[in-house]
Amino acid sequence: MGLRLGDDAPNFKAQTTIGDIDFYDYIKDSWAVLYSHPSDFTPVCTTELGRTAQLKSEFEKRNVKVLALSVDGVEDHLKWVQDINETQNTTVDFPIIADEDRHVAELYDMIHPNASATFTVRSVFVIGPDKKVKLTLTYPASTGRNFYEILRVIDSLQLTAEYSVATPADWKDGEDVIVVPAIKTEDIPAKFPKGFTEIKPYLRVTPQPNK
């Protein structure tokens, strides 16, 4: 059984391109994105790691630490980083985990035998400061991940954690949000002083609280 939303994200120790880390010690009280790649020197993943590096400031302002993983070794990772920096015109300075013994891949159920018996699938885990799994995504090898969507989901998760709101379909940062059903309508004005609109008794919207 793979990890489910709300499960504790397993801790681990690993070799990475920035040295040995303990996962919990590394992320501390930050949010984290842990995402896997089938192997080094693969074309789609080269663009993904490059895009992640290009979006460094976006992850930082959300208090998110990013870690990538592949089943290859640190030496290959470091050579691959040179290619990524060259071809994607960026600098990769976040850790890439060397998971040669598949220890982390097995903890996070990143190997799907019907896809590959030996390589990790292209998974994404968003992990909260409480070390709970908040989001899981799995992509096929041929489809590059949309990192703006990952940032959008993090924005939504952080709003929910801080303000007890949900976000509607296709929501973007700055747009109206939904008051969660657990909040009674009569309690909304005190909690959301910007006002609200009741579309249905179960569908109440309010301006984004932190904007």
CB atoms < 10 A from the CB of 3, how many?
Answer: 18
CA distance 3 to 22: 20
45 is catalytic: yes
Catalytic residue among 32, 33, 45, 126: 45
CA distance 171 to 154: 12
Short-list 134, 135, 210, 148, CA closest to 176 = 210
CA distance 46 to 165: 36
- Bridge partners of 197, per DSSP, are 205
What residues are annotated to the active site? Answer: 45
